[in-house]
Structure 1
Amino acid sequence: MRACTIIFSVLFGFTLVLQLALANLVPSAALEISPKVVGGTPISIDSAPYQVSVRMTDRDRVSFGSGHICGGVVISQRLVVTAAHCTYNSNKNKYYTAGDYVLVMGTSYLTSTTNNTLQYYVQELIPHPSYNPNTLVNDIALMFINGYIPWTSASVKALPLNTVNLAAGVNCSVTGWGVTSSGSSVSSNALRVGYVPIVSYLQCAIGYGNVPRTQLCAGYMTGGIDACQGDSGGPLMCNNALAGIVSYGNECALANYPGVYTNVSAYNAWIINTNNTLNYTVFKNGSGSLVAGIWLTLFSILLAY
């Protein structure tokens, strides 16, 4: 009976518990942009249990926390979403491999762990096939991890996907371990949150020109609060759903330049269709080692029961 219960739980984890809708994709004009929580406050991971630290494996092995490059968001037991530019090596004009990454979740601080901290390797790395590294259009990627996140975890929870258009003024939150001032190169050790409203496309165009509906803007036209370097790929949470993925901005928290986010509602169909192609019966990390994935999966199942 216990074995049947575990098998059912694993099979149940295959499905994203999401209601999905597809919005029209609108191409963007070329922009002078650079990938990018200024003005925020420290919070516990309990307030944002869906937050992930995306790290480069080789750097993080040298010093825990030093590998952090981007944020990510848990959207199912084996799927994390992030920004495509976090997976692209602009110096070599090619994508990194799945084996280059390790994901850390369930911790409030970059450089320390607790009993609730979970770590997974990336089994498959799936940037959007139409991602444009010059304009950051279609700036979204999926990371299929090599284990199951137990739904009984005290500090890691999935965030549902937003499926509706958001009106200007809707209050949202953006979280991450990014730098806390524009121009800095030092990430915040503590997870931080900033509260920002959705900005209309008309207002966002003041600074950026035309912004396609596959992106959305959030922040203050007066500046002051924004995501920044190191927050890329992290969540913009509105109405308890994942509305945006931190994508880019003109520096950080400048007047007339709110943060620009990948509009998650425009990619719901791509996410679910991609999820349906993944092989949930295989566990390995991106470098080809099956052992770590198998042990992480067994450990996750034991934690869940």
Structure 2
Amino acid sequence: MAALVILLIRISLCLFLLLNGVEAGRQPRISGREDVSIKDVPYMGTLRKLQNESMSVGSGYICVATVIQNRVLITTACCIYRQTREDIVAVIGNTYMRGLSRTMKVLKIADWRWHGLYKYNEWAYDIALVFTSQDIIPVKGVIQYLPIAEGVFRPHTRCIFCSWGADTSTAVLRNAPYIALRWTTSKLECYKRSLAAGVMCTYDLARVDEINSFDLGGPLKCNNALAGVLLGNSSDEYMLFTDIYMFRKWINAAIYMHFNGIGALRSSCFQWHVAVAIAVYLIIS
């Protein structure tokens, strides 16, 4: 009889975990914000100014960036717009912003591309890819690729937001990354809040800390895929993200062009052979 009771308790526990979306393996129970280590978010890195970093580790922090495949990170366009790529490095594989570790990788930037329709200080088309000079080799529990979303997420999908944002009470940059639960909204509700195409919104009915510039580019992971990168917030409860699924073809085309030696597009030099290459790639992809 005792054995039957124990079995029923175990089954009930398993059902509870499944119904609450807990994945197999280590998955912290999140209440508000929770500090984590890089093994919880091995796909997350940062963009930093090289000159500042040479003087004090962590002082060059600009934005969050997410590793999506070898030599490719994704962030928001506003993070790199008007910057010089020779002055920026990508840092991955490290938990502490102001610390060093044997797994930490500092990568030079070979190139970057932001969406051709992006306008500074606007939410629409605020997306960019950063290409590193060195390979990004996965290391178990430290460095990992996060695949981009290949489908639309239903309203109220449970997601996890990650960042290295500042502590708003002291305006001091956090030393460790944190994660927080978010839920997606409907596209109609999101458009009413953002008035911009290609934006997705999430909510948390509990009041959240004010979102600041240190959180920009932070990834939103839904169903183990990159669903969005943070743009900002429209209220205490609602956060706005670039909708990765809406830009999946642009992402794939930009990656294809970079690794095949096709220069970044500019409105003044949109040559016909570039247009043909893009069209062919999108058709066969």
Distance 1:249 1:223 in 2: 12
Match of 2:60 in 1: 67
Deviation at 1:224, TM superposition (A): 2.1
- CA offset digits 1:200-249 (Å, max 9, x no partner): 2344456x25342x110012245326754312112100000000001122
Distance 1:163 1:226, change over 3 A: farther
Letter in 2 for 1:71: V
The 1-side partners of 2:195 and 2:124 are apart by 12
Equivalence for 1:199? 185
SS of 1:47's equivalent in the other structure is coil
**RMSD across aligned positions (CA):** 2.2
Q: Does 1:244 align with 2:228?
A: yes
Residue-by-residue CA offset, 1:243-295 (whole Å, 9 max, x unaligned): 00011224xx614xx110000001111111111122479xxxxxxxxxxxxxx
* Contact kept in structure 1, 2:191 and 2:199, CA below 8 Å: no
Distance 1:163 1:226 in 2: 30
Aligned-partner Cα distance in 2 for 1:138–1:205? 14
**Do the aligned partners of 1:76 and 1:158 also contact (CA within 8 Å) in 2?**
yes
Preserved contact between residue 194 and residue 226 of structure 1 (Cα < 8 Å): no
1:87-106 correspondence runs (5 A) = 87-88=80-81, 95-106=82-93
Contact preservation (8 Å) 2:107, 2:133: yes
Aligned residues: 231
**Aligned CA distance change for structure 1 residues 66 and 201 (closer, same or farther; 3 Å):** same
Deviation at 1:128, TM superposition (A): 1.2
CA distance in structure 1 between the aligned counterparts of 2:256 and 2:208, rounded to whole angstroms: 41
Quick check: 1:70–1:232 contact (8 Å CA) kept in 2? yes
Q: Is contact 2:194–2:240 with CA below 8 Å preserved after alignment?
A: no
Equivalences for residues 1-305 of structure 1 within 5 A: 39-88=32-81, 95-152=82-139, 154-181=141-168, 185-204=171-190, 208=193, 210-212=195-197, 214-224=198-208, 227-250=211-234, 254-255=236-237, 258-279=238-259
Query: Which structure: greater helix fraction?
Result: 2
Shift of 1:168: 1.1
User: Helix, strand or coil for the counterpart of 2:184?
Assistant: strand
TM-score by length of 2: 0.75
**TM-score, length basis structure 1:** 0.70
Letter in 1 for 2:172: V
Q: Which consecutive unaligned segments of at least 5 residues does structure 1 have?
A: 1-37, 89-94, 282-305
Gaps of 5+ in 2: 1-30, 262-285
Q: CA deviation at 1:150?
A: 1.4
Look up the equivalent residue of 2:74 and give its one-letter code.
V
How much has 1:145 moved relative to structure 2? 0.1
4+ residue runs over 3 A deviation? 201-206, 225-228
Percent of residue pairs bearing the same amino acid type: 27
C-alpha distance in structure 2 between counterparts of 1:125 and 1:168, whole Å: 32
Task: Assess if the C-alpha contact under 8 Å between 1:227 and 1:246 holds in 2.
Answer: no
Contact kept? 1:216, 1:244, Cα under 8 Å: yes
Structure (1 or 2) with the larger CA radius of gyration = 2
CA contact (8 A) 1:174 1:227 kept: no
Q: Closer, same or farther in 2 for the Cα pair 1:225/1:237, shift >3 Å?
A: farther
Q: For 2:206 and 2:196, how far apart are their aligned partners in 1?
A: 19
